[in-house]
A and B are shown apart, each in its own frame.
Chain A
Amino acid sequence: MSSSDPMPIEVLVVAIPETAGSALYGMIDILWRQEHSGKVWCVPNRRKSYSTCG
């Protein structure tokens, strides 16, 4: 991240013993992977940099 990037949005996922763990970590996985999915998108789409993605 560069210094000009906005601060990330603070997300709290509420977990109690009744929480379905799969749904809890599924949601976390998608929101967390959002940060890491660039290569998965760029490589098959033959993009040179993440900044050209999306």
Chain B
Amino acid sequence: MRAEPQKKLFNVRVIGFSREPFRCENGIPVIPDVSLTEDPTANILILPELWLGPDEVFKGRYPEIMEWIRRQYRQGAMIYAACTGVIMLAETGLLDGREATSHWGYQDLFRKQYPKVHYCPEPNLVFADPAGRIVTAGGTTSWHDLAIHIISRHANPGEALRIAKVYLLKLHGEGQLPYASLVRNDPHADSVVRSCQEWLREHFMKTDAISHVVALAKIPERTLKRRFKTATGLSLIEYLQNIRVEHAKALLEHTETPVDEISVAAGYEDASFFRRLFKRSTGLTPSQYRRMFQPLMST
């Protein structure tokens, strides 16, 4: 779409290590407008998503860029980071002791590599400080939310509404919980915990699954619970609940099975408890979840 220009609110430029064109890891060519060596200043810095796996390490890369970002912040710039771009911001140290979000799949990366960051996996936008000088956004298309926020904040809400309508952008008001996979394959070295995880994945529907797995581990219950939390970041009961909710999510996505029956299939005879747990885990009721995701299976 093209149209005649109106008032220019933003002067947007790309900054690279140098002005030399390069290709991003997903092959898209980038031609920086300005280089780091020119030491430009800005009112706003934006750190977009990185092409970086949840098992990769960003630590130690581009120290000159990290120093430049820190200096921009000290000089008054506002910083907006989206998705895995938040990893770059964490690398600067500016998120230490502060709240931030990123893609839900990078929770373990933050826990292990940036433990000083107070990682919030649920919301789609998080203010790191009361003044909102650093704002982080959640997974992938959450940069839409960030763009709406930037325009609303630095232009006005009416302009943000107009842009959202023109470009069919929407705020992900539901946050990231409905999208998040609750059971992640996070590798660790504790073989006892691994065998417990495997057993629970096979037998989660048993009502007395926890006592079974404690017996299986052949170590004191308190020790198992401590080691489980250390290895996975979750308590035993949280892990079991996550497996059960994931099973329920799959049934809601693929079948017309009534919610009460799904509750039993997931290991919960008390359907009202299951509904409360499901809502707490996904941010949605089972019916809302089905309405949101089942159509994707029929497209």
Counting CB contacts under 8 A, is B189 at the interface? no
> How many chain B residues touch A (Cβ–Cβ < 8 Å)?
70
- Taking a contact as CB atoms under 8 Å apart, the answer to whether B159 and A9 are in contact is no
- Taking a contact as CB atoms under 8 Å apart, the answer to whether B166 and A41 are in contact is yes
Q: Which of A1, A14, A17, A34 has the most CB of B within 10 A?
A: A14
- Taking a contact as CB atoms under 8 Å apart, the answer to whether B48 and A50 are in contact is no
* Distance in angstroms between the alpha carbons of A17 and B23 in the assembled complex: 6
Given A11-B11, A28-B12, A54-B162, decide whether A40 and B46 contact each other with a Cβ distance below 8 A: no
Q: What are the interface flags for B35-75 relative to A under an 8 Å C-beta threshold, 1 for contact and 0 otherwise?
A: 00000111111111111100000100110010001001000
- Taking a contact as CB atoms under 8 Å apart, the answer to whether A27 and B3 are in contact is no
Counting CB contacts under 8 A, is A19 at the interface? yes
Within 8 A of B (CB), among A22-54: 22-28, 30-41, 50, 53-54
* In-complex Cβ contact of A34 among B9, B47, B50 (8 A): B9
* Distance in angstroms between the alpha carbons of A3 and B5 in the assembled complex: 16
- Taking a contact as CB atoms under 8 Å apart, the answer to whether B3 and A11 are in contact is no
- Taking a contact as CB atoms under 8 Å apart, the answer to whether B2 and A36 are in contact is yes
Q: What are the interface flags for B1-28 relative to A under an 8 Å C-beta threshold, 1 for contact and 0 otherwise?
A: 1111111111111111100001111111
Tell me which residues across on chain B come within 8 A of A25, comparing CB atoms. Answer: 28
- Taking a contact as CB atoms under 8 Å apart, the answer to whether B15 and A15 are in contact is yes
Interface residues of A (CB under 8 A from B): 1, 5, 8-28, 30-41, 50, 53-54
24 contacts between A and B (CB under 8 A): A1-B7, A1-B8, A8-B9, A10-B44, A11-B45, A12-B42, A12-B72, A14-B47, A15-B30, A16-B65, A17-B24, A18-B58, A19-B49, A19-B51, A25-B28, A27-B146, A27-B147, A30-B169, A34-B159, A36-B4, A37-B162, A37-B166, A41-B162, A50-B6
Q: Apart from A35-B9, A36-B4, A54-B162, what are 8 other A-B pairs with CB-CB below 8 Å?
A: A12-B34, A14-B69, A15-B14, A15-B30, A18-B52, A20-B25, A27-B143, A35-B8
